[in-house]
Structure 1
Amino acid sequence: MCGGVYYTHNGLDTRFYFPNPKAKLPVRQRSGSVALLPWGRRQEQRGVLPLGGWARLDSIYGGRWDRWFPVPVKLPLKSFMERDIEGQSHWFDLVRGQWIQGLVARDGSEQRIYIVTVEPELESAVHERWPRILNG
């Protein structure tokens, strides 16, 4: 379910794991610049936006995110981390032109980003949720 990310921002390689309350994700702005936003919300963090760091695509289409004024965004990541059923971490690289879809949610001045997830296409997939990877 994408528990870690790796990206470059302002010339610095950065690796964050979701449990870190300071975790941020890069968001490509329409101007082409990249902004860093807080990745989801943890139990101990103040706010009203949903707990967790992921948004199921079917729940977005179902309107469950509408009250937080969702905005789809591109996350320019180099790779992401998933754990297998034995708890081992595996990093998956994105190729040039690929990006992961994110969702920016807002409530007043609170703004956070969530990774959009889908069901994997492979029947043999170990994970029930996978980041939505798009091209272009």
Structure 2
Amino acid sequence: MNQRLQCEVKSMCGGVEAREADKVWKIYFPNPKAALPVLLEDSGQLDWIRWGRRREQPGSGPEGGWARLCTVQAGGWTKYRPHRAFGLVQRFMEKEGRAGEKNRISHWFDVPEGYALECLVIGEGEQRKVYVITTEPPAEYAWIHDRWPLLTALKVE
């Protein structure tokens, strides 16, 4: 598959699990109120930010909740003036197969301690949206999906 076609695939990482104090939240992208706990790199502030934009939702920003690393590196997100952020989740969920297929199996994966999902935040105030940066899956999981959340180590100071 050529790089251009590969970068146009949109669906992946349909859910995450996050903890806040003693509460565990399962957050699924199809829910229009889905939000992720995000640490903003430039401010060090932790916020719950709406996860992407669904087709039926008004507003600016691309449809979906993901940003391909190849598109980010090629400057495709520059026009949105994104801010680097980290999704503080304990697990993420990948669905086997392609969007629209029936009986897709969900697989949950732990995010290692000290790591987070690499994200972009666009917009201001109540219009902010977070997008999970994706890359190629590890070879052992390529059979599940063609995209994978990019994990990054958090710096401890």
Q: Name the counterpart of 1:17.
A: 28
> C-alpha distance in 1, partners of 2:18/2:140?
29
Q: How many aligned residue pairs are there? A: 136
Which one of the candidate residues 109, 113, 117 is aligned to 1:96? 113
Match of 2:66 in 1: 54
Report if the CA contact (8 A) 2:135-2:150 is conserved. Answer: yes
Structure 2, unpaired ranges of 5+: 1-11, 98-102
Which has the higher relative contact order, 1 or 2, with Cα contacts under 8 A spaced 6 or more apart? 1
Q: Structure 2 CA distance, aligned partners of 1:117 and 1:6?
A: 17
Which of 66, 69, 79 pairs up with 2:78? 66
State the 1:71 CA deviation. 1.1
Asked if structure 1 preserves the Cα contact closer than 8 Å seen for 2:54 and 2:64, the reply is yes
Q: SS at the partner of 1:59?
A: helix
In structure 1, the partner of 2:96 is 84
Unaligned runs of 5+ in 1: none
* Superposed displacement of residue 131, structure 1: 0.2
Structure 1 distance, partners of 2:20, 2:125, is: 27
Give the structure-2-normalised TM-score. Answer: 0.79
| TM-score of the superposed pair, with normalisation by structure 1 | 0.90
Pick the structure with more strand per residue.
1
In the aligned structure 2, how far is the partner of 1:33 from the partner of 1:61? 25
Q: Shift in Å at residue 12 of structure 1?
A: 2.3
Q: What RMSD in Å do the two structures reach over aligned CA positions? A: 2.0
Could you say which residue in structure 2 is the equivalent of 1:122?
139
Q: Does 1:105 align with 2:105?
A: no
The 8 Å contact of residues 49 and 107 in structure 1, kept in 2 or not, is answered as no
Q: 1:5 aligns with which of 16, 20, 24?
A: 16
Residue type of the partner of 2:110?
Answer: D
Q: Is 1:34 the equivalent of 2:46? A: yes
Deviations 1:89-110 (A, max 9, x none): 1110112111110110127862
